[in-house]
Amino acid sequence: MDRMLVVVFDNESKAYEGKKALQQLDNEGSISVYAYAVLAKHADGTASIKQGDDVGPVGTLLGTSVGSLVGLLGGPVGAAIGATIGATNGSIFDLHNARIADDFIDDVTKALTPNKVAVVAQVDEEWTTPVDTRMEAIGGNVFRRALSEAREKVDDEDIAAMKADVAQLKTEHAKAQADRKAKLQDKINQLDSKIQARLQRAKESREAAQHQAQEKVKILKAKAEALKAKAS
């Protein structure tokens, strides 16, 4: 199952242990890690992305829900990531594109208090025990949520409802007296603008999902090539 994973630690050292544990689980085949970041919350409430002993996570954030979540949790650092994603993919990832519910963000935000550090990752896991066992042994507080398509369904329902309202207003407009027509037309125009905005957001969401799927395929291919090279 495709999930967003956030593990909160008391310090940076423990967070790097957690990141290493995730990579080991990935190497063992227990989970698949598509993208990750280590995010530190400072005493003044600001946040920064920390890099490990590898190339660093920022490049792999592009086109993933991790980039969106880091942006939401990380404050100003998230704006920089959003700008990079926008330049690369034509749209800025937000909570809507991240496919994460508000309550999950709230839970993580409450746990990620100043001076704590989190490992944020998008993973595919069949069961939770491997990750939980490793993280709890290190002292990590695990939060996870399956990535959902529910927001797209909500958008579709909202658009359908607004279109129904427009149709009703147009019916009233056709029968209205002259002094009411202008007010009704104004309401129709406002709803039309909202519908177009929702349609654009739905289009961006589809494009974001396609981009994420392509990035995941690239990651899986790269892993397969690495295993093939190691075996030969």
Percent of the chain with pLDDT over 70: 75
Predicted structure pTM score: 0.63
Per-residue model confidence (pLDDT) at position 93: 42
Give 58 or 27, the one with higher predicted confidence. Answer: 27
Sheet holding 31-41, edge to edge: 47-50, 31-41, 117-125, 2-9, 141-146
Average pLDDT of the residues in 88-96: 41
Locate the DSSP E strands across the chain.
Answer: 2-9, 31-41, 47-50, 117-125, 141-146
CA distances from 59 to 11, 35, 88, 175 (A): 24, 9, 11, 58
Domain boundaries, given as residue ranges, for the chain: 2-147, 149-232
Closest CA to 206 of 134, 137, 156, 136: 156
